[in-house]
Structure 1
Amino acid sequence: MPTRTTKPSSAIALCLASALAASATQAAADAAPESDRPIRIAINEWTGQHVTATILGKVYQSMGYEVEYVTAGAIPQFTALVEGEITVQPEIWSNLVGDAWPNALASGAMVNLGSLGLNNFEGWAYPKYMEETCPGLPDLAALVACKDQIATAETFPKGRILAYPADWGTRTIDAIAALGLPVQGIAAGSEGAMVAEIRSAFAQQRPLVLMFWSPHWVHAEFDLGWIEITPPFAAECLTDPAWGPNPDATGDCAFEQAAVDKGAWSGMSETWPAAFGVLERFALDGTDQSAMVFEIDRRGRPLEEVVDEWLAANPETWKAWLPEAG
């Protein structure tokens, strides 16, 4: 798996590193680093996760740890985490990883350190201007009635819903089947491809429905609505075919909102106990993450520069993660 090791690369980064180091108390200095082995942090396919991973990595570096970032797919990463080849994954979206995450926990080789705190939401999004040509939106029944508007040559006579990239799971395709909809889920190539579709649709004022999420910077620039699916999610929807409107299927209800958790190789607590404690306390607000992603993806600024600015502006937040805070 590709790796990268970051080091301060600018005057801003050097000043920030000094400030971070100065803020660590003697207790933190005594506790870390407990091992000269690098802490290896997983990097997934979307910018928000890059932000989360880099914030955590820079705090670890300020404590004296060597940090490496390992590029890994949302599902394949768990093989490396279970084997200890990757140490930490600070942003695990449960809906993207199928049984890989539960199986890793059940094996005892990984531990769940709780919610990241993003205040996230996922569902089928659409440009709000579609409400003029498809009356009744955001109701799902209205979308079904307007399926020809979102059909393409690839899907006709079915409508098209742009799904997550294939290695993020099959959530859209599963929901379409469970709900018995006359639409087809087509996997996007990447997060960037999804954003490009949104931008193109708004530029041309054409219909589009896609699986998407919040927090994400696109909501600050584009007016997106969410398709309303009934009944609302309940645990029985996943197990009892008689519970929802389709007596032949489970999952025929609104999307379950994903848990976004922090995970680590189980050996981390013994190898780097102070770093493990930081991960336990680590949390990131979705609004803050979205603002950083906007700076990176929309304004083209370097990831590390944006993260450095956030750390410099929010010492009260990250200081609460350090060993003395625990």
Structure 2
Amino acid sequence: MNTRRIRTTLVAGASALGMTVLSACGAAETNISASDGIVTIAIPSWVGAEANAAIAKHILEKELDIRTKIIQMDEPVAWDALSTGKVDAILEDWGGVPKKEKLYIEEKKTVVPGGDLGVVGHIGWFVPKYFADEHPDVTHWKNLNKYADELRTTESDGKGQILEGSPSYTTHDDAIIKNLGLNLKTVYAGSEAAQITQIRKYVKNKEPFLSYWWTPQWLNAEVEMVEVELPPYTEGCDADPEKVACAYPELPLQKFLNAGFAEKGGEAAEFIKNLHWSTEQQNEVAKWIASDGMSSERAAEKWVKENRDTWEKWLPKGD
């Protein structure tokens, strides 16, 4: 997958995504698209993506009078739907399905790039700062075996645990563990929400832990974590999933549009192409949703009210 970050259904905020579908009109999940007068946006099950879509939906509906439907889909399914036109846009792509990207963008030409979202994503292995302060050398992969016993849990089969989120994540962690000869085992919490709950429990008890984690993520403002240095990422070091022994890359997150929608979607397509905000802005909205208990609609309304100078630039020219 080369320079792509791999997070197919890597859930970065699923605690807030108890929704399966957010719909402007309450319609069922059918082949509704811009051609029906409704813009359909696919989102994965993490809160950062929910924040993007909530903001887009609010502005499309309240400022441009364009009905908008949001559907939660795993990344591979979303790309298929994007190609067929069942979905008009993906607002946050982490490069988890490079083969589908090549097929639909380069070969079939049914999907087109929609530009940078403005948010830079990064996956890594992290330990809590209090553990790193006590054992500074734990922040280098060569020393992780030294701390395997302290990281062991009842689920890690006598090895040190690396806490994962959902089994549907696409990660290189098992390959990295094997190829670097680490005495670790991946243990899945089941979802991002469950992973966050477990991390908070460890932090409350000041227990050591090692976790697959990422930025942007609103929890990083609450829990101080330090990244473990893995062998540096180089172009192509993750090309063969079985041979990966390097760190994850940093990845500017991308938007993608159905080709027909990009061409004929008018103001809606232009707005989505223009949508561009910062990691800090996404984290703010994501925290309101996932941590503060705000609905995505209310969070979007609040952010839009407070940040007119930002989103007015996204509106189609002439509006």
- Alignment TM-score, normalising by the size of structure 1: 0.82
Cα distance change, pair 150–101 in 1 and its aligned pair in 2 (3 A): farther
1:165-314 paired onto structure 2 within 5 Å: 165-230=166-231, 232-238=232-238, 250-314=243-307
- Deviation track 1:196-243 (CA, whole Å, cap 9, x = no partner) reads 11101101111111111112111111111111112x2111424599xx
Q: SS of the residue aligned with 1:168? A: coil
Q: Which residue in 1 is equivalent to 2:147? A: 146
Shift of 1:132: 5.0
Structure-2 separation of matches of 1:132 and 1:281: 43
Q: Which structure has the bigger radius of gyration? A: 1
Q: Which residue in 2 is equivalent to 1:25? A: none
- Deviation track 1:259-288 (CA, whole Å, cap 9, x = no partner) reads 410011111023313222212211121101
Structure 1 stretch displaced more, 253-262 or 47-56: 253-262
Report the AA paired with residue 168 of structure 2.
D
Q: Give the % identical residues.
A: 25
**Structure 1 unaligned spans of 5+:** 8-33, 242-248
Shift of 1:63: 1.0
Report the AA paired with residue 22 of structure 2.
R
**Structure 2 unaligned spans of 5+:** 1-18, 26-33
Structure-1 separation of matches of 2:110 and 2:245: 34
Q: Which residue in 1 is equivalent to 2:120? A: 119
Q: Which residue in 2 is equivalent to 1:323? A: 316
Q: Which residue in 1 is equivalent to 2:46? A: 46
CA contact (8 A) 2:122 2:249 kept: no
Q: SS of the residue aligned with 2:310? A: helix
CA contact (8 A) 1:45 1:190 kept: no
CA contact (8 A) 1:74 1:168 kept: no
Shift of 1:135: 4.3
CA contact (8 A) 1:164 1:172 kept: no
Structure-1 separation of matches of 2:236 and 2:75: 27
Structure 1 stretch displaced more, 200-209 or 270-279: 270-279
Q: Which residue in 2 is equivalent to 1:156? A: 157
Structure-2 separation of matches of 1:173 and 1:258: 21
CA contact (8 A) 2:58 2:297 kept: no
CA contact (8 A) 1:119 1:215 kept: yes
| Mapped pair 1:5 → 2:23 | yes
Shift of 1:187: 2.7
Shift of 1:83: 1.1
Q: SS of the residue aligned with 1:118? A: strand
CA contact (8 A) 2:115 2:273 kept: yes
Cα distance change, pair 68–204 in 1 and its aligned pair in 2 (3 A): same
Q: Which residue in 2 is equivalent to 1:77? A: 78
- Deviation track 1:45-100 (CA, whole Å, cap 9, x = no partner) reads 11111010111122221212111111211222112111111111101112x44533
Q: SS of the residue aligned with 2:303? A: helix
Q: CA RMSD in A?
A: 2.4
Structure-2 separation of matches of 1:207 and 1:92: 32
Cα distance change, pair 187–282 in 1 and its aligned pair in 2 (3 A): same
Shift of 1:133: 5.0
CA contact (8 A) 1:319 1:325 kept: no
Q: Which residue in 2 is equivalent to 1:89? A: 90
Structure-1 separation of matches of 2:268 and 2:219: 33
1:127-142 paired onto structure 2 within 5 Å: 127-132=128-133, 134-142=135-143
- Alignment TM-score, normalising by the size of structure 2: 0.83
